[in-house]
Amino acid sequence: MYETTYHRPSSVAEAASLFGKGKEAKYLAGGHTLIPVMKQRLASPSDVIDLGKLKELIGVEATGNGVEIKAATTHYDVSTSDAVKKAIPALAYLAAHIGDPHVRHRGTIGGSLANNDPAADYPAAVLALGATVKTNKRTISADEFFKGLFTTALQDGEIITAVSFPVAAKAGYGKFPHPASRFALTGVFVAKTAGGDVRVAATGASQNGVMRVPAIEAALKANWSAGAIDGVKVSADGLLNDIHGSSGYRANLIKVMAQRAVAAAG
Amino acid sequence: MSTVKLTVNGKAVSVDVEDRTLLVQLLRENLNLTGTHVGCDTSQCGACVVHIDGRAVKSCTVLATQAAGSNVTTIEGIAKGEELHPMQAAFRDNHGLQCGFCTPGMIMSSIDIVNRHGGKVDEATVRQELDGNICRCTGYHNIVKAVLDAASRMKVAQAAE
Ligand SMILES: Cc1cc2nc3c(=O)[nH]c(=O)nc-3n(C[C@H](O)[C@H](O)[C@H](O)COP(=O)(O)OP(=O)(O)OC[C@H]3O[C@@H](n4cnc5c(N)ncnc54)[C@H](O)[C@@H]3O)c2cc1C
Ligand code: FES
Ligand code: FES
């Protein structure tokens, strides 16, 4: 790892101002993406600004129509939160299946979304549930937030402060974990919104990161059941094709994981 | 450079380190607590697991500065003098180790698993939650046996306290 300077600000405002002063500053939350990348010398920030201990960024709150999860809340705390389990059990399930217990003790929802790894789990839930990403500057809808591999709508220095999830009439997550890394080889989050709309998002599958799956959405809208997905054709175009699985294999995994997700959602 | 103040195995320490120092380096190189191992460079093997404020974490993926102000427990901090922690005793009794390289991380992770589940763990839970710990020797079978054995001993120990 190259040299760096560590900062522990006491507020989001101070963090943003430190970021502005750094030559090539980076925020640090759980560090479970950034530190491995710094160890590999693929990132060499001049300054790291620790958001992980900011009280204003930690915690889960029940809102009128769902839950708001502050950005530096760990995967473990989301998976065990009574508010999350009550409002959107599928979200608690998803958080409980990220990586391993040690990763869940450190990694945060804000870090995961800012990083937007094409095989990360949270992006699928955020997109399928139509959540809203709140930053220190504005709010961004899920449909606007994800911009392709490791790319988001966040501007330089912008800090995610919270993510607001509306409750769904039904929601479920199906994940086929990569046996070594635990990231999603393919994961599918299905949601029937309170208004009756159906949104299905797949992660780990596309060359462009998390994506909606319109064919499965249409089938589930007509008939919310795992069986309704049997006859759906998911195209392999634009899907990842690598040593872990061909694009055709992933296209099939999208269907199978969607079926498991619907079965789990009930 | 930063001065990192933290509590390690119940003792307050203050160490001057470069900001890029990992917690595992501070433990091994500055405090000579070499029981915590480094087995990989990819945050995957779990040989480096310690507890920060009671939670099992990979100390190779935490900056020393991030741990400032925290309470850290390493494998050196769990026995009571000559008396092994019930998890250590169970690993010995169940032949839960061969070369021993993964063992400190396995034991720290296993204590965390048992604590988080209030002592109530079954084989499936133990196998699932040891996901972040790799062992190249044992085939895991006796490790799982050891954790289940220790879970009952830890319950007994808690009840007696
Ligand atoms: C062994 C291992 C297995 C894993 N398995 C999975 C898995 O199965 N599924 C999965 O989804 N993930 C997995 N991960 C990734 C893990 O969930 C990460 O913790 C997560 O992706 C990043 O969160 P973090 O808090 O650690 O972020 P950090 O590493 O601290 O930061 C990541 C990036 O986000 C930026 N950032 C952080 N917080 C904010 C914020 N509030 N606002 C703006 N920018 C911010 C940082 O500047 C940095 O660029 C795994 C990681 C490891 C090491
Ligand atoms: S040395 Fe920390 S996970 Fe391998
Ligand atoms: S006992 Fe040798 S690696 Fe586990």
- The answer to whether B132 contacts A180, with C-beta atoms less than 8 Å apart, is no
Q: What does the mean pLDDT of chain B come to?
A: 96
Number of domains in chain A: 3
Which homologous superfamily does the CATH classification assign to the domain defined by B86-160? [2Fe-2S]-binding domain (1.10.150.120)
In this predicted structure, the answer to whether residue A156 has a pLDDT above a threshold of 70 is yes
B48 vs B36: CA distance, rounded Å: 5
Q: What is the mean pLDDT of residues B120-131?
A: 96
Q: pTM for this one?
A: 0.97
Decide if A113 contacts A177 (C-beta within 8 A): no
Q: In what order do the strands lie in the sheet with A60-63?
A: A60-63, A66-70, A160-166, A132-135, A139-141
Token look-up 């099992």 returns B56
Best substitution site from B99, B110, B142 to test ligand 3's pocket, by max atoms within 8 Å of Cβ?
B99
CATH hierarchy code of domain B2-77: 3.10.20.30
Query: Is any ligand 1 atom within 6 A of the Cβ of residue A220?
Result: no
In this structure, the answer to whether residues A113 and A85 fall within a common structural domain is: yes
Q: How far is B28 from chain A (nearest CA, A)?
A: 17
> B41 falls in which pLDDT band (50, 70, 90)?
confident
In this structure, the answer to whether residues A153 and A175 fall within a common structural domain is: no
Q: What is the mean pLDDT of residues A37-65?
A: 97
pLDDT at B3: 98
In this structure, the answer to whether residues A157 and A176 fall within a common structural domain is: no
A118 vs A204: CA distance, rounded Å: 5
In this predicted structure, the answer to whether residue B161 has a pLDDT above a threshold of 90 is no
Query: How far, in Å, from the CA of B53 to the mean position of ligand 1?
Result: 20
In this structure, the answer to whether residues A192 and A229 fall within a common structural domain is: yes
Helix, strand, coil percentages for chain A (3-state, nearest 5): 35, 25, 40
- Chain A touched by B109 (CB under 8 Å): yes
Sign of CA dihedral A85, A90, A91, A96: positive
Tokens representing A151 are 């790319």
- Chain A touched by B1 (CB under 8 Å): no
Q: Select the residue from B65, B107, B111, B116 to test the A interface by mutation, using most A Cβ atoms within 10 A.
A: B65
Domain parsing of chain B, residue ranges: 2-77, 86-160
Query: Ligand 2 atom closest to Cα of B61?
Result: 2
Closest CA to A197 of A218, A227, A174: A218
Q: Which residue of B has its CA nearest to A51?
A: B66
Report ipTM for this prediction.
0.96
**Residue A93 belongs to a domain with what CATH number?**
3.30.465.10
Query: Ligand 1 atom closest to Cα of A57?
Result: 41
In this structure, the answer to whether residues A64 and A157 fall within a common structural domain is: yes
Host domain of residue A178 = 170-265
Q: Residues of A with CB below 8 A from B68's CB? A: 8
In this structure, the answer to whether residues A162 and A63 fall within a common structural domain is: yes
